[in-house]
Amino acid sequence: MNTFSVWPGLANYLTRAVDRHEPFVLLDSWVEGDQSPQTHGSSYLGLFPKELIIIESSKSGDGLSSLLDVASSWGMGMVGYESHHHKFGLDVPTQGDPQVWWIVPTTVLKFDLNSSTIEVELDEEGRAQEVIDELSAEVDSTQKTKSINKIIDWSSIEYKEYIKCIKDIKRAIFEGDTYEVNFTYPMRTTLQRHPIEWGETLLREAKVPFSALVHAVQTPGQASSLDRMVISASPERFLKLEGRTLSSEPIKGTLRRDDSMSDAQLKEALKELDSEKNRAENLMIVDLVRHDFHSVCEPGSVVVPELFKKRSFGTVHQLISTIQGRLPHGVGWIEAFESCFPMGSMTGAPKRAAMHLIDKLENEPRGIYSGAIGYCKPNGDVDFNVVIRTVIIDLMTQEARYHVGGAITSDSDPASEWDETKVKAQLVDKG
């Protein structure tokens, strides 16, 4: 169960918001337990901005300085992969997605998924009850989303070009330039459905804890070349700060989920997920995140409470580890974010060397992909995902793209790495 099944009217409400060109952020949560799907945590909807902060690609590269004045307010939005490039000696793209898109909302609703209720977190303009009434009035009349079986025609990198890039990375690894690189490529198609209808379908299919729907417009009611609709079915947490406890949950290791398997077949398949290769990739990123945490957390506070934890989602099984640390008094979420961004699982290690190789081999900017989507609260708590398994729609051109990739190490088999990207692409193979 996720937000949509608890409050079916939400899909219709967001559809109208998109049609009116109104910005919003929905952060949706879904966690599957060992025995059966179960709700977990909360989802948030941010509406009616009193401020929109948008940093286009050509003016980015210096991190989150644009958010310093609103860091202690309710805020929700996205940070792009190239937003901190100057820190790593890299040039920023001259065009593409906005690298920072941030809404300071006047209305925030919290969906309690256990009690199936809506709580008002923020209501500066007195509009929260109006929205709740509109959502609730449509619960009985909203029909269930139908399964879509049409195969979408995606274009992407050619197999030969992909194999060449992987071989180039392996050559760099053998020459000692780096020891792990996360190489990615975009798939593209033309938008064929209303983005909210598509988003609801994908999030139902994915069943992941860090989903998001972001209607990232530059000016409410007015079209712009920077306008994006982002459908993120991410299973990965980049950074959570609760009180002074900082957490990250990097993913390395992916296996296609097949519910037709018998218990014995599944047990055998999960051995592949827990392979020496996947553990090695995961451990490299754990070490990188620990290094990032050590640069901002109290000495001696960084720990790894979970290593190589197997978790299942709607279409994949993943190998996930958890790193935690404690921030010193006086250190806020922006300092923690900038110490750890971009996330090691999307770069490789060492981070700087891997990013320079990515910049050389990938033929276009990542933009929003590989960045982070999340929120900050007035008390300083934050939670951000890693932007993977994400459809990014250019609302002006109606082009949709979906990036896939994986970690390349010295023992990576190029053909197998290609196959793994196809596993990650299966979420969007059907529209």
Per-residue pLDDT tens digits for 212-233 = 999 999 999 999 999 999 999 9
Q: What percentage of the chain has pLDDT greater than the value 70?
A: 90
The answer to whether residue 181 scores a pLDDT higher than 90 is yes
Question: Which position has the higher pLDDT, 41 or 293?
Answer: 293
Does residue 361 fall inside a structural domain?
yes
Give dist(CA 359, CA 375) in Å, integer: 28
Contact 57, 365 (CB under 8 A): yes
Token look-up 């922006």 returns 334
Does residue 364 fall inside a structural domain?
yes
Contact 43, 25 (CB under 8 A): no
Write down the pLDDT at residue 365.
96
Whether 22 is a known active-site residue: answer no
Does residue 146 fall inside a structural domain?
no
Q: 408 has which bridge partners?
A: 181
The answer to whether residue 242 scores a pLDDT higher than 70 is yes
List the Cα angle 418/340/52 in 5-degree steps.
95
Of these residues, 200, 205, 236, 249, which one is catalytic?
A: 236
Write down the pLDDT at residue 7.
54
Write down the pLDDT at residue 225.
95
Whether 364 is a known active-site residue: answer no
Write down the pLDDT at residue 159.
96
The answer to whether residue 384 scores a pLDDT higher than 90 is yes
Long-range contacts of 196-199 (CB under 8 A, 24+ apart): 196/11, 196/14, 196/15, 196/18, 197/11, 197/15, 197/145, 198/231, 198/391, 198/431, 199/229, 199/231, 199/391
Write down the pLDDT at residue 281.
87
Give dist(CA 418, CA 431) in Å, integer: 22
Q: 249 has which bridge partners?
A: 237
Does residue 259 fall inside a structural domain?
yes
What integer best gives the mean pLDDT of the chain?
89
Q: Which residues contact residue 394 at a Cβ distance below 8 angstroms, ignoring those fewer than 6 apart?
A: 225, 227, 228, 400
- Structural domain count, the chain: 1
Write down the pLDDT at residue 123.
98
Residues of the chain by 3-state class (helix, strand, coil), percent to 5: 30, 35, 35
Q: How far is C-alpha 287 from the chain's CA centre?
A: 21
Does residue 172 fall inside a structural domain?
yes
Give dist(CA 204, CA 4) in Å, integer: 8
232 token code pair: 């993120």
Does residue 144 fall inside a structural domain?
no
Write down the pLDDT at residue 137.
73
**For 413-420, what is the mean pLDDT?**
93
**Which CA distances in Å does 328 have to 16, 241, 331, 378?**
44, 12, 6, 18
The answer to whether residue 2 scores a pLDDT higher than 60 is no
Q: Which residues contact residue 226 at a Cβ distance below 8 angstroms, ignoring those fewer than 6 apart?
A: 54, 56, 97, 98, 216, 218
Range of the structural domain that residue 208 is part of:
3-138+152-428
Does residue 49 fall inside a structural domain?
yes
The answer to whether residue 37 scores a pLDDT higher than 80 is no
Question: Alpha-carbon dihedral of residues 374, 378, 380, 384, nearest 10 degrees?
Answer: 0
State the pLDDT confidence band at 274, using cuts at 50, 70 and 90.
confident
Give dist(CA 18, CA 160) in Å, integer: 39
**Which CA distances in Å does 241 have to 46, 336, 386?**
19, 9, 15
Q: What is the CATH number of the domain that holds 377?
A: 3.60.120.10
Amino acid symbol at 264: A
Of these residues, 252, 351, 377, 424, which one is catalytic?
A: 252
The DSSP bridge pattern shows strands 390-394 and 303-312 to be unpaired
Per-residue pLDDT tens digits for 92-101 = 999 999 999 9
Does residue 76 fall inside a structural domain?
yes
Comparing 89-98, 200-209, 366-375, the range with the smallest average pLDDT is 200-209
Give dist(CA 23, CA 16) in Å, integer: 11
Q: How far is C-alpha 417 from the chain's CA centre?
A: 21
